[in-house]
Structure 1
Amino acid sequence: MRLGILGTGKIVQDFLPMVKSIPAIELVGLLSTPRSVARARELQATYRIGTVYTDYAALLADTTIDTVYVALPNSLHYDYAKRALQAGKNVICEKPFTLVASQLTELIELAGRQDLVLIEAITNQYLENYQVIKRDLTKLGDLKIIECNYSQYSSRYDQFKAGTILPAFNPKLGGGALMDLNIYNIHFVVGLLGAPTHVQYLANVERNIDTSGILVLTYPNVKVVCIGAKDSTSPVRSTIQGTTGSIIVNGPTNTVESITEIAHDGTTTDLTLNQAEHRMYAEFVAFERLIANHDMVTVKRQLDHSQAVMEVVDQALASAGLQLG
């Protein structure tokens, strides 16, 4: 994979030290805004990135780049991913894929016409601990209840209350608790159970953005509660309950750091099977293989999953009377 990276923010600064450990990924280009060029030059020197661009068209014209990694603010995902696909590049896009499901549908159709890989960078779907959860669901008998809580007080919330609206709390930029934190819970649940039959989002709304909320997903025989909060905090964990046992996820659903399986008789088994310390390693190893092998069967499966997640997002926002973008 010969990669062009879009952005110089926190996610990119977290990504670059990790990606050095995947030799098959070559860092060819880095897109920066003019005001962030100094930071981009530092990243270029530290991580041996080929070229720094401030013009997206110029990066897309670089024929040595075969894949673009969209690591920009939420509201820019759709446009920048679309332009990359139109330029003949494979696309890896950070979560949330888009702001509404119809935008993702359009991107999927475009990628299909171009025979290009389009995939969402969503960590939990590729972690070994998550795969074990999927495997061991049958040990729980009939599933009944799932509860996911990812609550993390945001330092930006104090500024938000004082009247400074930063991207994390800006509805026009796709901010809010649902898109920032609860989105991981949605991916976690939809990856296990598929699309729900009913969605309701009970949100705490300030200045037209959800600072926290409870998402209720209904399945024929399973009830799910997903909590995401940026205005308060709580011990972060998730539980899956069935008639013959339960699984506890220790830590947030984006890292699935460890799991505890509890049998009906009280026997517990602690599992920590993630092979890499960095949460993004497993997904980018998978992306490199998908692109190298042009594995469109797996790509379609993952896109179907992402589409189901975005449809949950659409229904959640509508039920709370929220509009992003």
Structure 2
Amino acid sequence: MKLAIIGSGMIVNDFLPMVSDIPGIELETIVGTDRSIAKMNDLKKTYGINEVSTNYEECLKNERVDTVYIALPNHLHFSYAKQALLNKKNVICEKPFTLKLSEMQELKELALANHVILLEAITNQYLTNYKKIKEAVGTIGDIKIIECNYSQYSSRYDAFKRGEILPAFNPKMGGGALMDINIYNIHFVTGLFGEPQKVNYLANVEKGIDTSGILSIDYGDKKVVCIGAKDSTAPIRTIIQGNEGAIIIDGATGTLDHFTVINRQNESKLVDCKVHTHRMYEEFLEFERIIREADFETMKKQLDHSEMVMAVVDKSLVTAGISLG
């Protein structure tokens, strides 16, 4: 994979120290704005990136680049991914894939028509600990209740209250608690249990954006609550309850550092099967394989999952009366 990184924000700075552990990824280009040139040059020097650019169109014409990693604010995902797909580049797009289901579906059609790979970067779907949770779910009987709480007071919330609207709280830029942190919970739950029957989002809305909210997901025989908050804080924890036991995950559903299985006799077992300390390692290791092998079967499976998630997001925003973009 000869990669162009689009963006130079926090997620890119998190990604770059890890990527050298995946030999199949070559860092060809980093693309950003004029005001980020100094930052990009520092990243180029530190991580051995071949080139710095402020021209996305030129990057897409670069024959040395076969894949772009879009790590931009949420509202730019669709347009940048679409442009790359039209130029027959493979695309890895940060979560949330797009702001609405119809945009994601258009990207899916373009990828298939142009015979290129399109993937959403969503860590939990690729973690070995997540696969182990899928196995453990079958050991705790009939699942009845799932509670996911990802609440983390945002460093930008105080500025938001003062009237400074940064991307994290800007409805035009796809901000808000649902799209930023509760999206991990949605991926986590639907990856385990599939498409829900009903969803309803009870959101705390300030200035047109959800600063926190409770998403209820109904599977008929099991009920789910996904809490995401950027205006308050609480222990970050997920509990899956069955009639024979429970699974407890301390920490965010995007990281899944470890989990505990407890049976009805209160006997517990700690499980930790992660293969790398960095949460993004396993997903990018798999992305490199999928692109190298042109594994369209796996791509379609992952896109089906992402499409299901975007359908939940669409319905959730409608029930809360929130309009993004």
- The residue that corresponds to 1:56 in the other structure is 56
For residues 35-74 of structure 1, the aligned pairs below 5 Å read 35-74=35-74
CA deviation after TM superposition for structure 1 residue 58, in Å: 0.5
- The residue that corresponds to 1:76 in the other structure is 76
- The residue that corresponds to 1:126 in the other structure is 126
Q: What is the one-letter code of the residue matched to 1:179?
A: M
- The residue that corresponds to 1:187 in the other structure is 187
- The residue that corresponds to 1:228 in the other structure is 228
CA deviation after TM superposition for structure 1 residue 124, in Å: 0.4
Q: Distance in 1 between matches of 2:89 and 2:155?
A: 36
SS at match of 1:60: helix
- The residue that corresponds to 2:237 in the other structure is 237
SS at match of 2:82: helix
CA deviation after TM superposition for structure 1 residue 273, in Å: 1.0
- The residue that corresponds to 2:170 in the other structure is 170
- The residue that corresponds to 2:307 in the other structure is 307
- The residue that corresponds to 1:211 in the other structure is 211
Q: Size of the alignment, in residue pairs?
A: 325
CA deviation after TM superposition for structure 1 residue 220, in Å: 1.9
SS at match of 1:39: helix
Q: Distance in 2 between matches of 1:196 and 1:165?
A: 33
- The residue that corresponds to 2:29 in the other structure is 29
What is the percentage of aligned positions where both structures have the same residue?
58
* Structure 2: gaps (5+ residues): none
* Structure 1: gaps (5+ residues): none
Question: Could you list the per-position Cα deviations for residues 77-97 of structure 1 after superposition, in whole angstroms to 9, with x for gaps in the alignment?
Answer: 000000000001000000000
- The residue that corresponds to 2:295 in the other structure is 295
SS at match of 2:150: strand
Q: Alpha carbon RMSD of aligned pairs, Å?
A: 0.5
- The residue that corresponds to 2:259 in the other structure is 259
Question: Once superposed, which parts of structure 1, at least 4 consecutive aligned residues long, lie more than 4 Å away?
Answer: none
Question: Could you list the per-position Cα deviations for residues 115-174 of structure 1 after superposition, in whole angstroms to 9, with x for gaps in the alignment?
Answer: 111000000011111100111211111110000000000111000111111100000000
- The residue that corresponds to 1:85 in the other structure is 85
Q: Distance in 1 between matches of 2:91 and 2:150?
A: 28
Q: Distance in 1 between matches of 2:304 and 2:298?
A: 10
SS at match of 1:155: coil
CA deviation after TM superposition for structure 1 residue 221, in Å: 0.4
Q: Distance in 2 between matches of 1:139 and 1:272?
A: 17
CA deviation after TM superposition for structure 1 residue 266, in Å: 1.1
SS at match of 2:138: helix
SS at match of 2:265: coil
SS at match of 1:38: helix
Q: What is the one-letter code of the residue matched to 2:197?
A: T
CA deviation after TM superposition for structure 1 residue 262, in Å: 0.4
Q: What is the one-letter code of the residue matched to 1:222?
A: K
SS at match of 2:249: strand
